[in-house]
Amino acid sequence: METKMEVNVRSEIGELEGVILHTPGAEVENMTPQNAQRALYSDILNLAVAKKEYAQLSGVLSKVTKTFQVMDLLTSVLEKDHAKDEMVTTICRNENVMYLVDELLELPAKELARQLIEGVPLKRNNLTNFLSHERFSLRPLYNFYFTRDASVSMLDEVLIAPMANRVRDRESLIMEAIFNHSSLVSANTVNPHSFNLNGNVSIEGGDVLIARDDILLIGNGTRTTTHGIDFITSRLMAQQEKKKRHIIVQELPDSPESFIHLDMVFTLLDKNQCMVFDPVMLLPNRFQTVQITIENGKVLEIKTVDNMLVALKALGMDLQPIFCGGTKDQWTQEREQWHSGANFVAIAPGKVIGYARNIHTMEEMNKHGYEIIRAKDVLNNRIDLNSYSKYVVTIDGSELPRGGGGARCMTMPVSRKSVSW
């Protein structure tokens, strides 16, 4: 029997030991121009092309780490009767379709998993349904290939994300069931909904970065509220740790939509390097950076700081910024940020994955010592990644970025090796 992988994530860059993915499927094709905005997309995707691009990401990851697919994990959970009953009842109650409970419970685990992700078609068996403009009783989870958002690996716990938009609530419920009931991955889960908090608490994984085991970086914007950050702060306070813990909060613009998460303007690449979108992160602007220090269960200090890099340097993390879109032209920076040019996921210190289309960003990476390696060459065994100490693997990105995210968005780490700081 395969050993369960316990959640253990204490940095953004530690060597990746396990990651949860979701290959986009029919749920993406169930999107139309009419419901794209409701689904939080600015455009509709070509699934055939998106799957080819995604195969580059998942293929590279499978060569360097253990990968888990949401569909497989969910199917195994639904094979357990108590977990199946609990999950179906919770989802149907949450989405006001309790009449579906018996019908869904009769489905085999694999088919039920598929419908919970791809959508449950609306049966036009009464006048209300016949006249309805909806196609689904349970809508497809269009955004689920961005597995980062619905849950957050924090040290040895998983925070179940109270999402900003109800269209994504089911993603969080699925991830919670996986971590609570799967025989392959396991963690103590923390669900803010169980704390009877007010309705202003929302947190999404794209906004939460673990810089070091004592430093959290959190974006405050349209997806993660100040109340959500206060909840995370209260959880750290409850641990009553004697050593200091730090939360550095970056306020984000409300628009355009490419700024929805912190990891769209800032990601960590190595022990001493990070990717930044300069206009938001470093240049003087109206977006505040706030540092919260916690010790012995209390907020020791809360203050504004010049920017995130200044705060990190004071805490012993002196990071060299690499600029999304290069340094010559702000229009180029904006274009490449729009296509997730600042969004990288590390598979080890100095070894990252990003989109090939952001050529000025890649040129800047190359200037800072990163070998640019095509995912296709890795998958065709033309290149052995073990031969390089520092690199960025580039995946094609004509369709995937249309959903509004990059390599970090599409990966939910389960475990990383510790980093020798």
3-class secondary-structure state, position 114: helix
What does pTM read for this prediction? 0.95
178 strand-pairing partners: none
Query: Is pLDDT of 368 > 70?
Result: yes
378 belongs to a structural domain: yes
Phi-psi region of 169 (alpha: psi -120 to 50; beta: other; left: phi over 0): alpha
Q: Which residues form the domain of 250? A: 5-416
342 belongs to a structural domain: yes
131: number of Cβ within 10 Å: 8
63 belongs to a structural domain: yes
196 belongs to a structural domain: yes
Please state the rounded mean pLDDT for residues 116-134. 90
What CA–CA distances, in Å, run from 221 to 211, 262, 263, 294?
Answer: 19, 8, 12, 22
Residue 380 · residue 317 · CB < 8 Å: no
User: Which range, of 143-152, 186-195, 208-217, 364-373, averages the lowest pLDDT?
Assistant: 186-195
Cα gap 279→289, rounded to integer Å: 14
The mean pLDDT value of the chain amounts to: 93
Residues in the chain: 421
C-alpha of 250 from chain center: 17
CA geometry: angle 150, 290, 219, nearest 5 deg: 20
pLDDT value at residue 34: 55
pLDDT tens digits for 175-216? 999 999 999 999 999 999 888 777 789 999 999 999 999 999
171 belongs to a structural domain: yes
In sequence order, the 6+-apart residues with CB closer than 8 A to the CB of 379 are 56, 59, 60, 63
What CA–CA distances, in Å, run from 309 to 57, 259, 268?
Answer: 29, 19, 11
Residue 195 · residue 159 · CB < 8 Å: no
Query: Is pLDDT of 38 > 50?
Result: no
Q: Does a cis peptide bond (omega within 30 degrees of 0) precede residue 256?
A: yes
Residue 69 · residue 59 · CB < 8 Å: no
Name the amino acid, one letter, at 387: S
Please state the rounded mean pLDDT for residues 229-237. 94
Please state the rounded mean pLDDT for residues 312-334. 96
Query: How many structural domains does the chain have?
Result: 1
Query: Is pLDDT of 355 > 50?
Result: yes
Query: Is pLDDT of 344 > 90?
Result: yes
421 belongs to a structural domain: no
pLDDT value at residue 1: 58
User: Which position has the higher pLDDT, 238 or 104?
Assistant: 104
The dihedrals phi and psi of 135, each to the nearest 5 degrees, come to: -105, -15
What CA–CA distances, in Å, run from 162 to 89, 171, 211, 363, 407?
Answer: 18, 10, 22, 38, 22
CA geometry: angle 389, 377, 53, nearest 5 deg: 110
pLDDT value at residue 133: 86
DSSP code for 150: S
Provide the pLDDT confidence category of residue 37 given band limits of 50, 70 and 90: very low
Please state the rounded mean pLDDT for residues 264-285. 95
Query: Is pLDDT of 134 > 90?
Result: no
224 belongs to a structural domain: yes
Query: Is pLDDT of 240 > 50?
Result: yes
Residue 405 · residue 395 · CB < 8 Å: no
CATH number at residue 260: 3.75.10.10
Cα gap 361→323, rounded to integer Å: 7
User: Which range, of 29-43, 77-91, 314-328, 336-350, averages the lowest pLDDT?
Assistant: 29-43
Closest listed residue to residue 38, CA positions, set 178, 110, 157, 134: 134
266-279 in b/e burial notation, b at 16+ Cβ within 10 A? bbbbbbebbbbbbb
pLDDT value at residue 54: 96
pLDDT value at residue 32: 59
Query: Is pLDDT of 43 > 70?
Result: no
